[in-house]
Amino acid sequence: MVGDVIEDDEPKAREGGADERGSSNEGPAPSFDLAEGLLRRPRPDDDRPGVRWTYRPWLMLLMSLAIAYHVTVLLVHNLPGKGLAKEVHTFFNANLQANNYMRAAGLTQSWAMFAPNPHRSNMFMKVLVKDRDGEIWDLAHDIYGRRTYPYLFYDRMGKINRRLIEEKGYRRHYAAWVCRQWEREHGGEPPDEVQFVKMWTQVPTPEKVFARAFELKNPWQRLMNMGYDPMALHLNQREEETIRCSSTYQAQLPPELRERYGLPEHPESRYRDVSVRTWWDNRKAKEKQAEREAERADDDASTPEQVGEVEGGE
Q: CB burial class (10 A; 0-12, 13-18, 19+) of residue 158?
A: middle
pLDDT of residue 205: 85
Secondary structure class of 121 (helix, strand, coil): strand
Confidence of residue 89 (pLDDT cuts 50, 70, 90): confident
Q: Does residue 92 lie within any of the structural domains?
A: yes
pLDDT tens digits, 175-211: 999 999 999 999 999 999 999 999 999 998 888 888 7
- Is residue 201 within 8 Å of residue 271, measured between CB atoms? no
Smallest CA-to-CA distance from 252 within 266, 267, 272, 268 is with 272
**How does DSSP classify residue 43?**
P
The verdict on 130 and 195 lying in the same domain is yes
Share of the chain above pLDDT 90, in %: 34
- The total number of structural domains in the chain stands at 2
Q: What mean pLDDT do residues 45-61 have?
A: 76
pLDDT of residue 183: 93
Q: Which of 29-33, 115-119, 123-127, 142-146 has the lowest mean pLDDT?
A: 29-33
Q: Which of 62-66, 78-82, 147-151, 168-172 has the lowest mean pLDDT?
A: 147-151
How many angstroms separate the Cα of 47 from the Cα of each of 42, 53, 55, 170, 242? 11, 10, 17, 63, 76
CA distance linking residue 239 with residue 124, whole number of Å = 12
Is the CA virtual torsion 255, 261, 265, 266 positive or negative? negative
pLDDT of residue 275 exceeding 50, the answer is yes
pLDDT of residue 114: 64
Confidence of residue 17 (pLDDT cuts 50, 70, 90): very low
Interstrand relation of 193-202 and 136-138 (parallel, antiparallel or unpaired): unpaired
The verdict on 68 and 170 lying in the same domain is no
Q: Which of 4-13, 31-40, 44-53, 274-283 has the lowest mean pLDDT?
A: 4-13
The verdict on 142 and 83 lying in the same domain is no
Share of the chain above pLDDT 70, in %: 78
Q: Does residue 78 lie within any of the structural domains?
A: yes
The verdict on 248 and 155 lying in the same domain is yes
224 membership: H or E segment, kind and range: helix 219-224
Q: What mean pLDDT do residues 144-157 have?
A: 75
Q: Which of 21-30, 40-49, 107-116, 277-286 has the lowest mean pLDDT?
A: 21-30
Q: Does residue 148 lie within any of the structural domains?
A: yes
- Is residue 122 within 8 Å of residue 200, measured between CB atoms? yes
The verdict on 152 and 82 lying in the same domain is no
CA distance linking residue 96 with residue 137, whole number of Å = 52
The verdict on 75 and 159 lying in the same domain is no
The boundaries of the domain holding residue 94 are 57-105
Q: Does residue 142 lie within any of the structural domains?
A: yes
Query: Which of 238, 260, 282 represents a domain boundary (last residue)?
Result: 260
The verdict on 61 and 190 lying in the same domain is no
pLDDT of residue 309: 54
Q: Does residue 191 lie within any of the structural domains?
A: yes
The verdict on 149 and 211 lying in the same domain is yes
CA atoms within 13 A on the CB side of 216: 12
Q: What mean pLDDT do residues 288-310 have?
A: 76
Q: Does residue 16 lie within any of the structural domains?
A: no
The verdict on 191 and 86 lying in the same domain is no
Q: Does residue 49 lie within any of the structural domains?
A: no
The verdict on 211 and 154 lying in the same domain is yes
195 membership: H or E segment, kind and range: strand 193-202
Query: What is the overall mean pLDDT for the chain?
Result: 80
Q: Does residue 233 lie within any of the structural domains?
A: yes
